[in-house]
């Protein structure tokens, strides 16, 4: 599994193949089937492990912080992890398949970290879901553009990311989420 994750990070999740994995491990491709049930199962395993790791990274970033400091720390940790592990990051995007309890638990772990951070603003329930979606969409869009070379203008990307996070914090501090239903 670790080698598959390394390859995914190196060449991208879409380019991870069983043939590439077998070659990297120095085995014949049919030998892989003793350990995995095919490409779908491999990608699912990578996704579950990546979601667990990302949730852990986000949780550690949030520890001891609240409100704005927690949001900023979680956003920075999210971006740093995604940039360091682009293949695994791509695996975190897909929603769990119906009935996949392990993937659901892994996905829920990261969401729970964000819900915990948002609770510092008094956000919960459906409003927290809305804020979580806005935060995830913003971070994912930024990271995706950054990793695919989508930022060509002459300004430091990290500075632009800081402005994005400033906007998220400002939105959470306003009434835009309070009283919404």
168 lies in a domain? yes
Question: pLDDT digits over 120-162, tens only?
Answer: 999 989 999 999 999 999 999 999 999 888 998 888 999 999 9
Residue 148 lies in a domain: yes
| Whether 82 contacts 147, CB under 8 Å | yes
CATH number at residue 88: 1.10.357.10
Q: Tens digit of pLDDT for each residue in 26-49?
A: 788 777 777 888 888 888 999 999
Which residue segment(s) compose the domain that 83 sits in? Answer: 49-173
Count of domains for the chain: 1
Q: Is 149 a domain residue? A: yes
Indicate if the pLDDT at residue 181 is higher than 60.
Answer: no
Is 139 in contact with 77 (CB distance < 8 Å)? no
Mean pLDDT of 99-104: 94
What confidence category does residue 71 fall into, taking pLDDT thresholds of 50, 70 and 90? very high
Q: Which residue in 108, 160, 113, 115 sits closest to 139, CA to CA?
A: 160
Whether 4 is in a domain gets the answer: no
* Cα distance between the two ends of the chain: 43
């Amino acid at each position: 599994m670790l080698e598959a994750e390394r390859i995914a990070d190196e060449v991208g999740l879409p380019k991870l193949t069983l043939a590439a994995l077998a070659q990297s491990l120095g085995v014949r491709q049919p030998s892989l089937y003793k350990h995995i049930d095919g490409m779908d199962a491999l990608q699912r395993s990578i996704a579950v492990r990546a979601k667990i790791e990302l949730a852990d990274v986000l949780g550690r970033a949030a520890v001891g912080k609240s409100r704005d400091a927690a949001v900023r720390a979680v956003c920075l940790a999210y971006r740093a992890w995604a940039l360091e592990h682009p293949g695994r990051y791509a695996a975190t995007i897909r929603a769990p398949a119906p009935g996949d309890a392990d993937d659901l638990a892994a996905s829920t772990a990261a969401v729970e970290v964000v819900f915990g951070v948002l609770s510092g603003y008094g956000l919960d329930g459906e409003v927290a879901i809305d804020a979580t979606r806005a935060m995830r969409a913003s971070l994912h869009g930024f990271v995706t553009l950054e990793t695919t070379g989508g930022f060509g203008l002459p300004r430091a990307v990290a500075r632009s990311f800081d402005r994005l996070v400033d906007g998220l914090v400002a939105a959470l501090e306003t009434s835009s989420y309070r009283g919404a239903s």
